[in-house]
Structure 1
Amino acid sequence: MTAEAGRSDYESLFPELWRKAYVVAYQVLGSQAQAEDAAQEAMAKAYSWWGRINRSPHGWVARTAYTQAIDIARRRVRSREVLGDDDVERPGRDPRLEDRMDLTAAIERLPRRQREVIVLRYLADQSEADTAAALGMRITTVRKHAQRGLASLGGHLATEMREA
């Protein structure tokens, strides 16, 4: 594939990939502006890696947007800890931020393959077949990882709720 053809593929898929990146990031962050930042970063990385990811860009972009969103969420939490304003209520603050952070932390504790399947299947809303293609595994393996990941998430979140 020529560089020109690669750019053309990227440009034609950009709107679809951008939406996927934004949706995944928004589900993690709950902030339109921060989700846009994460999606923008994911798309910039996709452009620079396009020659390697162009066979399965949807899964790659979703995973990258998720990673970018996690980084933004961690910086947000760290800045609150440094500033000591955990209890300060500000206009526009998402009251479900703690729930999102708990879920994000639980997802991060999953084994890599379970985490990837959960992100692609449920945050990026990909089908089992698309998830299998993006991760290079069989559909039955995707189902197994999804089932185990969801069970583990339920256990993590139930434990956190009991401890709270």
Structure 2
Amino acid sequence: MTDVGSAAPSAAGDYESLFPELWRKAYVVAYQVLGSQAQAEDAAQEAMAKAYSWWGRIRKSPHGWVAKTAYTQAIDIARRQVRHREVLGADDPERPSRDPRVEDRMDLTAAIERLPRRQREVIVLRYLADQSEADTASALGMRVTTVRKHAQRGLATLGGHLATQVREV
């Protein structure tokens, strides 16, 4: 006879119980990149749909995976926005007005994208997804000291990229 209390919950049950928490994390990451509630919701929804389809592989450590996926979805949306602005001519009356906050986000996003992969992953999880060093280390399969090293180097590089852009303006 099997003890019902010790049975592992189903994959769908795990997903359903973690959905609100994972959705918030995906939304926060996407909003920090995009600055738009509607677009952040779209990116979070896409990340959660992907999480559902990959649940069997990611369910042991879904937080970091969802944060990285939401970031990637947000970057895709941001790139489409830039292309859309480029397609619309400067004299086009339907061209969206330039919001300096959006431009700042795009500059930061571009700087993050130029980081080496591990630094970028650590920066996204630690600072955009607001994960602890331990959670970031667990999600990325590395030691906490390695997370600290990548965070320190990534932030230093980001500071250099952004300082250069400020001087150019």
Match of 1:125 in 2: 130
Q: What TM-score does the superposition give when structure 1 sets the normalisation length?
A: 0.93
2:85–2:96 CA contact under 8 A, matched in 1: no
Instruction: Give the direction of change, closer, same or farther, for the CA distance of 1:17–1:85 in structure 2 (3 Å limit).
Output: farther
Correspondence for 2:110: 105
**Does 2:35 match 1:30?**
yes
Q: Name the counterpart of 1:70.
A: 75
Match of residue 45 from structure 2? 40
Structure 2 partner of 1:159: 164
RMSD: 1.9
Rg: which structure is higher? 2
Name the TM-score, length of structure 2 as normaliser. Answer: 0.90
- Verify the 8 A CA contact 1:30 1:94 in the aligned structure 2: no
Aligned mates of 1:85, 1:104 — CA distance in 2:
23
Q: Which runs of 5+ in 1 are unaligned?
A: none
**CA deviation map 1:71-106 (0-9, x unaligned):** 00000010000002499564xx74300000000000
**Within 1, Cα distance between the matches of 2:153 and 2:120?**
10
Name the SS of the counterpart of 1:23 in structure 2.
helix
Q: 2:120 aligns with which of 115, 124, 133?
A: 115
- Is 1:19 the counterpart of 2:24 in the alignment? yes
Q: Alignment identity in percent?
A: 86
- 1:159 CA displacement: 1.0
| Inter-CA distance 76–48: structure 2 relative to 1 (3 Å threshold) | same
- Which runs of 5 or more residues in structure 2 are unaligned? 1-6
Moved over 6 A (4+): none
- Give yes or no for contact 1:80–1:86 (8 Å, CA) kept in 2: no
Tell me the residue number matched to 1:136: 141
Deviation, structure 1 residue 160: 1.2
The aligned counterpart of 1:146 is 151
Aligned to 2:62: 57
Residues 89/71 of structure 1: CA separation in 2 closer, same or farther (3 Å cut):
closer
Deviations 1:103-135 (A, max 9, x none): 000000000000000000000000000000000
